[in-house]
Structure 1
Amino acid sequence: MTHPLRLRAFRLLFLGRTVSAVGDAVVPTALALAVLRATGSTAALALVLGCAMIPRLLLLPFGGVIADRFDARRVAVATDLVRCAAQLVVGVELLGGAPALTHMAVASAVGGAASAFAIPTASPLVAGTVDEPARQRANALMGVTANASRLAGPALAGLLIWTAGPGWAFVLDALSFALSALLLSILRVRHVPVPRRSIRTDLVLGWREVRSRDWYWSSLLAHGVWNGAAAVLLTVGPVVAVQRLGGEGVWVLLQQGGAVGLLAGSLLAGRFRPGRPVLVGNLGLAAYAAPLLLLAVTAPAPAVIAAYCLALTALGFLNPVWETVVQREFPPQVLARVTSYDWLMSLGAMPIGYALAPLAARQWGASTPLAVAGVLVAVACAGTAAVPAVRRLGWAVSVPPQPSVPVGR
């Protein structure tokens, strides 16, 4: 089996995604500090973050349609250039010393809209450059570079912010998107043309492909619960860590432990190929209940950190394995659309957790939402084992069914 990095097309893709991942990993920390420096308001930060999230959620399904209809490479190049321009606008304003909140919000909205079209291209790009036997290793490599960037991003952001200012973090991200666009523009990706139909028909067809596979939609429900529970932990967890477990340093260690776990899981996925990939991956996600429940009972900080690291290791392992299974089981003509529905459910569940967790914590105390989220994630993720298709799905050689074409336009 040829190693993915021996393939020129994948090398270009890998390098481009690595560069943009490093740039993106710097921005969250820089954005938070830039907005707070400019306005001193957490409400302003919430506004800017919301301006990025809302168009991303609304446009994700349409991004899947566009990526399936057109060459995913061209769509990815276009979105990289749009995001380059958006980040450059913010960076220049910050470097000028008089950033306007309106401009930052608009740039975030433009970047969020572009990401809705970029996200669905990721899986078709890997599937179009690497043959099936090497795809899990290729997806694991993509996971390694993304998770390594998350681990190093905050430190690089801090270095830039305190030595040169947050504006340079955005300039760096803009340059990373420009370089990524350049690399993607010279690679060649296999693309299966899709018949021209109405956008509504393409959306319906993608949703039918999701509904037709029990293992997929049942897992998506579990993954949505997982992401909602993650939002609860990220919202309530800092309060528990600071007030009950020893201070801000505990929360920082928890987050770094999670980043290490994600990286370790991605490395493991490059070497271990479970016989029942979806079943093993979903059961691993159930481990996220441990840090939630340990936080709820105010367990010692080392136990919480270790549990969180283990839970994120399971996530880091699942992501490449899941991508490989989806690329194998779905026809290439619908891959971007089903991926967009996957992301829509995952991202859409997080605002629910962000909204409900503080309300529940104020009403019943921080332990209640953490405990409820822990129970829900354990039941949802482990409960997928009750679905026969989840238990049966393996790596036996099969030809993915062709997508059904609905009648009408």
Structure 2
Amino acid sequence: MPLPDLIEIVPLEKPVLAEITVPGSKSITNRALILAALAEGETTLRGALWSEDTQVMVEGLRALGFEVEVAEDPQEFCNRTIIVRGLGGKIPRGGTLEAPLEIFVGNAGTAARFLTALVCLGNGIYRVQGVKRMHQRPQEALFNALRELGYCIDSVNDKLPATVHGNGPRAGTCCVSIAESSQFASALLLCAKVGGWRVNVVGENAEESPYVAMTTQLIEKFPKCGGEFQIEPDASSGSYFVGAGWLLSLGDATQSSVRVTSWPTSGWQIDAVFSKTRVAFVQRISRRNDLGDSIMTAIALAPFEEGAGPQVFVDLERLRLQECDRVEAIRSELTRCGAKVVEEDDTLEVFPSRLHGAEIETYHDHRMAMCFAILGLKVSGIKIKNPACVKKSFPNFFQKLAAPPPHGLGATILDARTARALAHDELFAE
């Protein structure tokens, strides 16, 4: 049975001692899939995330003619072992002007940007399109960089849908701004060696952008002629359980302890430092320099920082350009729960507040659903609309929330319309 459209998280009353596993990194998985397709020979990706965004990437590669095998991972339900047969930089298929090869990217930013750059290396015409929200998200900086390299990108408004004229590798130099998204630079860098491209990245903190750094380091480590590559767990996904452990331990009344096993240690994921923000109060946190997507978790937890004064979250401009306008969304929903939140430009100031229950609008955003779900472990009456949106990155999130310790938190999750407790199988997002 599918997840109901409205669920309620029942606060925990007993201490929790848990060691949680989380699926593989979405960012690393989708980068690794592109690199595996461009490599020579067979590459086996272990610990790869299997969610809506990575499935979109796999289907995109299959549409281009790559052979991709997917097998279950016995260690983690939402991971897969994925075997990609690369062709040394060749793209097997291409369409024509009359019948472009269609590539559907859903609302996956990485798939949209990475596949657009990849098909430039092919020979033929490709039409890249997604869902309505993806068609609203920025692409212009990437399109302009590809045009600078000599490729033709047709788009009415420099957003998707777009028609890409693949013309094979073309040595050249381009400049790309990461002011709106670092994915533009990553898309070009992943394909640069095969394409013969020299990519100059500009924008604030361009050389230190954590996601660009992840891409360059991954390119260096990735097997070029086939082999195996292990993908580490997703730190952004882990932040919800680190945050839950901190929240449940407040007041030291429950003696709870929640640990995420195999916490990422490569240094590639900026969100791997999230646990440090829970150890000591940090008054000012930057989306650009301190945290990535896990800043959403930190913002959601900020009202509970009693006695520490307000927390200020800065450099949030990119959050406005993702699955939804996340700055407005999280401010609106925290306010709905009784928090005092001040939004000014791309900054949020969150004051210690006593929260109450509310129906949370998720805006079809997986991170909104998961951030507010963990608040329900402490606050009565938190109800999550459209909880199935977590399928984008963490389809079994609610199953882990509800599974008995030590492999879950033991939360009771209700169908909010009937007050019926949901069984394990009903909590999977599909």
- TM-score > 0.5 by shorter chain: no
Structure with larger RCO (C-alpha < 8 A, sep 6+):
1
User: What range is the shorter-chain TM-score in?
Assistant: under 0.3
**Quick check: which one's strand share is greater?**
2
Alignment TM-score, normalising by the size of structure 2 = 0.25
**Quick check: which one's helix share is greater?**
1
